[in-house]
């Protein structure tokens, strides 16, 4: 017995509707919301910093491919790189650090002029940095249930722009434990560790540049 044209059309329409619903379900299941995270500049510094009249230009830090993106890096072992699921930085990590360095210099209240390398400013000094460590990792402990800790290490070079040579170079490193493996707590540990590195590197570099004035 053959199916009537009307019944055939109804069957096709129902099949298309079910296929559309299945596609919608698939789309909904993969569209998991992504949490975006930012970090804060340092705002408290030593009260005896010298005033710097020269102009500073801060370049964007260099970094390896595992860090030079908007993913929040986790290393479960020294040779393995993973990322926090469903969480991102608001920008690439080196761009975030560059912005926070500029804001931290401004927050000292002792730097007359500081900006990014991208704006084409004429510099007296260049701040050249390398983001060597910027990840959460398993702590070196026998307790397997211990939460992650965050390691931040930045190498900073102060370059005399007129003489085109490095006048000072130093690495700054901080480790901060996370309250838990939850993304909010891991990011809070990033903020703590980076904040300490920003404070130490900014104070050190200002003193070195002021000594050249």
Q: How confident is the model at residue 101 (pLDDT cuts 50, 70, 90)?
A: very high
The correct CATH number of 32-210 out of 3.30.930.10, 3.30.70.260, 1.10.150.110, 3.40.50.10610 is 3.40.50.10610
Residue 25 has pLDDT above 60, yes or no: no
Q: Which residues contact 211 (CB under 8 A, 6 or more apart)?
A: none
Question: For residue range 41-92, what is the model confidence (pLDDT) as tens digits?
Answer: 999 999 999 999 999 999 999 999 999 999 999 998 889 999 999 999 999 9
- Cα 18 to Cα 5, 13, 21: the distances in Å are 20, 9, 5
In the chain, where the domains are located: 32-210
Beta carbons of 171 and 155 less than 8 angstroms apart: yes
Q: Report helix, strand and coil shares of the chain as percent, to nearest 5.
A: 35, 35, 30
Q: What's the predicted TM-score (pTM) here?
A: 0.83
């Amino acid at each position: 017995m053959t199916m009537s044209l009307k019944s055939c059309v109804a069957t096709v329409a129902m099949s298309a509707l079910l296929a559309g619903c299945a596609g919608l379900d698939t789309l909904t299941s993969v569209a998991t919301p992504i949490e975006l995270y930012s970090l804060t500049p340092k705002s408290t510094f030593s009260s005896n910093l010298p005033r710097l009249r020269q102009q500073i230009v801060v370049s964007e830090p260099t970094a390896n491919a595992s860090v030079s993106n908007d993913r929040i890096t986790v290393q479960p072992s020294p040779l393995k790189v993973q990322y926090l699921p469903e969480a991102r930085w608001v920008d690439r990590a080196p761009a975030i650090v560059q912005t926070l360095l500029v804001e931290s210099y401004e927050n000292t209240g002792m730097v007359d002029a500081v900006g990014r390398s991208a704006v084409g400013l004429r510099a007296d000094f260049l701040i050249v940095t390398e983001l060597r460590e910027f990840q959460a990792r398993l702590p070196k402990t026998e307790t397997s249930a211990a939460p992650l800790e965050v390691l931040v290490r930045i190498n900073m070079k102060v370059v005399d722009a007129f003489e085109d040579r490095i006048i000072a170079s130093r690495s700054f490193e901080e480790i901060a434990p996370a309250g838990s493996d939850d993304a909010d707590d891991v990011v809070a540990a990033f903020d703590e560790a980076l904040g300490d590195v920003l404070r130490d590197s900014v104070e050190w570099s200002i003193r070195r540049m002021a000594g050249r004035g």
